[in-house]
Homo-oligomer: A and B are copies of this chain.
Amino acid sequence: MKKLRIGLPKGSLEKMSLELFERAGWLIRRAERTYIPSINDEELEGMFIRTQEIPVYVEKGMLDVGLAGNDWIVERGVRVRRVKELLYSKQGLSKVRWVLAVPVDSPVKKVKDLEGGRIATELVKVTKNYLKKREVRAEVEFSWGSTEAKPPRLVDAIVELTETGASLKANNLRVIDTILESTTWLIANNLSWDDAWKREKIKNLAILLEGAINGYGKVGLKMNVSQENLKKLLDLLPALKRPTISKLSQEGWWAVEIIVEELLARELIPRIKKIGGEGIVEYPLNKVVY
């Protein structure tokens, strides 16, 4: 039997990744202390690896495909096929940022002020490139973690990951620049991508993972509307997504159904009601594939 070897991120992206796969249709279970999970798909062979290392093992071909943050794809400088961007991170369906930060009361106001200074970060290569482009000479040292603790005693500035900014605030740090934004990517080894069976499998994975992400933030809306109000309703609904309209048995009445972002539903529902929509129902979705 053919197998696709997939690298799954252990650590901060792990929980959200497993939820996403479950919604996409794959149940992945990892026993305590082990890294080779069981997956309810005989064609998939998974391995949990630190997100920092997935790009390298995909590039070398030990893994056919993997999930990795854009940050580490760039940092490790690998040549892999970027199959699909998946907009999620540790905290939810959003990007993360790597920021350059200094103590709140530091005299440093912009990156230029760090000339001759020392910066701690886990993302050494990206940081060096950033400084080079701005023609700032500063020492960049690898940090094993607890990076927020280091300024000002141990270093002048740090480059660190942030989602909400809470950790920076708790450590009295001030952001002076964003040096990289990052989302998660499904990446593939170039040779694996050239294999027809593997490429097909990878593309199906991409469709379903993307469908699952769509399912998180979207909802279905159904409503009935009379002939006279149908036009007004259709004008109201977002142009992009073609609604499903079907005739009801009752003469002169239509059923309209549409998929929209959850936040948009909050706006639409009162307006639909106002123009005569009846029996408006919002229901949850698992996946949406356009």
Contact = CB atoms under 8 A, between A and B. Distances in A.
Interface string A260-290: 0011011001100100001111111111111
Interface residues of A, number: 77
Nearest to A149: B35
Interface string A236-255: 00000110111111100011
Interface in A28-68: 31-36, 40-41, 47-50, 52-53, 57, 62
A245 B5 CA distance: 39
Identical copies in the complex:
6
A166 interface: yes
A133 interface: no
Nearest to A234: B249
A77 interface: no
Interface string A141-168: 0011110111001100000000000110
Contacts of A244: 222, 224, 248, 255, 279
Contact of A149 (B36, B215, B263): B36
A179 interface: no
Contacts of A289: 269, 273, 280-281
Contact of A270 (B171, B203, B283): B203
A149 B254 contact: no
8 contacts: A25-B266, A35-B146, A35-B149, A52-B144, A241-B279, A249-B254, A283-B286, A284-B286
Interface of A: 5, 10-11, 24-26, 31-36, 40-41, 47-50, 52-53, 57, 62, 143-146, 148-150, 153-154, 166-167, 170-171, 203-204, 207-208, 211, 215, 219-220, 222, 224, 241-242, 244-250, 254-255, 259, 262-263, 265-266, 269-270, 273, 278-290
* Smallest CB-CB A-B distances: 3 pairs: A35-B149, A25-B266, A245-B249
